[in-house]
Chain A
């Protein structure tokens, strides 16, 4: 992606450039490094203020790793992550900081602006802490406990649809959907600007999933939040996202405004992925594009375009040359040599 195309926008909150996260593969008796799993390889994206960016892809495509590498929960191998932080600036006006250059203390301060919601509503809450302890833990870490804390927690609980009397209870007393609400309340405790949601609804039942998605959407408007929404379910991502980035084996294949991406995909992988989604309409007789074989192994990726062994439009060039993520149309990026030239079919928008 061309550098100049990105930071023109003054609403940008987070900008990720050339992000890489390689995990070493060790072998032999001396645990020598014999190779790398390129979980995230040269990923570029940005998030605007108050916007939801969906990060979607199949398992092992690096979407979760990318989300975590942004926060330096996994230390990135390379790349730049720039964030407009409120907490770190002394003047009170948001200031650009480069997350990878911060020391531990500064990073901790920035974490007031960025929080996270996890997939597993059981595993992400300490069973020995009450709801009050769970939600105030971020406040405790940042020395923000005061006389009005309890009131603040009650407000948060009510905001996420729980009742004030739940404050003294333990996680096991709640259902999965309620636990996810506790996790959401915790992520809101420090009044962040950006929340990274890692598969927040995939462990929930359909009816509860809808409640949670609606809640996330409402909160976004109320608090002017930006989300990075990591998920594998394409319908959920389409529903919640303003823009969507499709990842394939550690790289972004395509990134665009949500409806544009779904209705007019420019990357063959996106096209095939869209056609694979089972649609809840029994009369729909659709032509499914079956991708042969399995997702490429990120430890031993094919040469050239990573998708070429499964692509039905493959040409000789794809087997040798790695395609760059280019801006094909305004705000529509794709990493395919033939993006824009192929006639790809998207989802018909109802």
Chain B
């Protein structure tokens, strides 16, 4: 997943986010590399503290203080210039955090929905005002054309008027399936249920026609029946508006239903990446394998769930070598605790960060035996 082709929307190279705090240094994200493709859904999965939310913040250049971000986050923004489509390369990591350019991207080209629909809406704004705010800042309409193709090229854009913004807001609320959108547009967040609030969040996020929607655990706080509604809605909308989704979750079921490709993260590193079907059917990294075996699945009666022994290490005191080695069932003493594994190709379009698959690894009988076991 490395070469930059036409369908790449965001490419993340060697992303590191470091927090220098009193107790030491935490590498919240430690060398992440992945690509978000246009119109596709990339799922990021991992347990709490693995750096998945921080990666999302890095894409928006919103890493909170005292975090320091290094590496490359490149956005390939499409726009029309002189009647032809051009792709502009924007290095998000190099933009001024409070500058004009990044503020146009945030909420415009890239939007985000959060886990907690209550605390991410302002209680003093109506649902409509939330959407109108985004629309006013990020959506521009073409000035009435005189009817000549020549002039179309030199058209300027104008801001939407308040009346138009309200119309767009009602239209968006209708699109996300809020009943009585024309009245609900004037409802305050506390008058809406959890599922309705999340619909409003999605309406805000989609009102500016983003190219990328970052969904950070969007259904975790919702009930299953509402979760099903929201997931269906997101899929439907994605089909109609052609946007990419970065879907962050810890729920294997949700990722299996939503994503095309996925990244499994552990302690700030991606340990496995590939297509969702490949990873669910043929997980290569021991962590992914155990994670999949450890979830109780509806319709399957397991006597005992597989467990990952121990717990996630303290970020201040990471194990040497492979960070997963103290919990790994395939631990190779003298190797895994010494050598940091690199991301290696294990199958077509599937990479794993494990010494068993590392091509540089000496081809000893012992290593082969472990490989065969896997």
Which residues of A does B touch, CB under 8 Å? Answer: 58-59, 175, 177-178, 205-211, 213-214, 217, 232, 234-236, 238-240, 259, 262-263, 272-284, 288, 290-291, 293-295, 347-350
Contact = CB atoms under 8 A, between A and B. Distances in A.
A211 B235 CA distance: 34
Interface in B42-95: 47-48
B296 A213 contact: yes
12 contacts: A206-B47, A206-B295, A208-B311, A232-B223, A263-B299, A273-B225, A276-B225, A276-B228, A280-B255, A282-B257, A291-B229, A295-B225
Among the interface residues A207, A208, A214, A272, which one has the most CB atoms of the partner chain B within 10 A? A207
A235 B227 contact: no
Interface of B: 47-48, 179, 193, 195-196, 223-229, 231-232, 250-257, 276-277, 280-281, 290-292, 294-302, 304-308, 311-312
Given A234-B224, A238-B298, A278-B257, A214 B232 contact: no
A7 to B, nearest CB: 29
Given A234-B224, A235-B296, A348-B299, A205 B252 contact: no
A291 B251 CA distance: 21
B224 A58 contact: yes
A205 B276 CA distance: 21
A208 B311 CA distance: 7
A280 B256 contact: yes
Contacts of A281: 256, 280
Nearest to A61: B223
B253 A210 contact: no
B307 A347 contact: no
B299 A282 contact: no
Given A278-B253, A280-B280, 13 more contacts: A175-B312, A205-B48, A206-B291, A206-B295, A208-B311, A232-B223, A236-B296, A259-B301, A278-B228, A278-B256, A282-B280, A291-B228, A347-B298
Contacts of B276: 282
Contacts of B195: 294
A210 B311 contact: no
Contact of A278 (B231, B292, B302, B308): B231
Contacts of B298: 234-235, 238, 262, 274, 277, 279, 347
A249 B253 CA distance: 26
A276 B227 contact: yes
B300 A349 contact: yes
A239 B311 contact: no
A279 B302 contact: no
Contact of B295 (A178, A214, A235, A262): A235
Given A210-B306, A349-B299, A58 B223 contact: yes
A42 B297 CA distance: 31
Given A278-B254, A283-B277, A349 B48 contact: no
Contacts of A275: 228
Contacts of B229: 290-291
B302 A239 contact: yes
B296 A294 contact: no
Nearest to B195: A294
A239 B48 contact: no
Nearest to A346: B299
Given A214-B304, A214-B307, A280 B226 contact: no
B224 A279 contact: no
A1 B305 CA distance: 35
Contact of B227 (A236, A278, A284, A347): A278
A280 B223 contact: no
A178 B195 CA distance: 33
A274 B298 CA distance: 8
Contacts of B256: 278-282, 284
A126 to B, nearest CB: 23
A280 B295 CA distance: 9
A282 B304 CA distance: 23
B294 A210 contact: yes
A243 to B, nearest CB: 14
Contacts of A213: 296, 305
Contacts of A347: 298-299
A175 B276 CA distance: 31
Most chain B CB atoms below 10 A, which of A281, A283, A295, A349? A281
Nearest to B229: A290
Contacts of A209: 294
Contacts of B296: 210, 213, 235-236, 238-240
A138 to B, nearest CB: 27
Given A278-B251, A280-B256, A282-B256, A350 B299 contact: yes
A240 B223 CA distance: 20
A190 to B, nearest CB: 28
Contacts of B291: 206-207
Contacts of A278: 227-228, 231, 251, 253-254, 256-257
A281 B193 CA distance: 30
Given A175-B311, A205-B48, A280 B224 contact: no
Contacts of A175: 311-312
Contact of A205 (B225, B231, B250): B250
A47 B295 CA distance: 26
A349 B297 CA distance: 10
Given A58-B225, A205-B47, A277-B224, A290 B232 contact: yes
Contacts of A259: 301
B225 to A, nearest CB: 5
Most chain A beta-carbon contacts within 10 A, residue among B232, B250, B254, B299: B299
A293 to B, nearest CB: 8
Nearest to B249: A278
Contact of B47 (A207, A277, A348): A207
B223 A295 contact: yes
Nearest to A237: B296
Nearest to A281: B256
A139 to B, nearest CB: 28
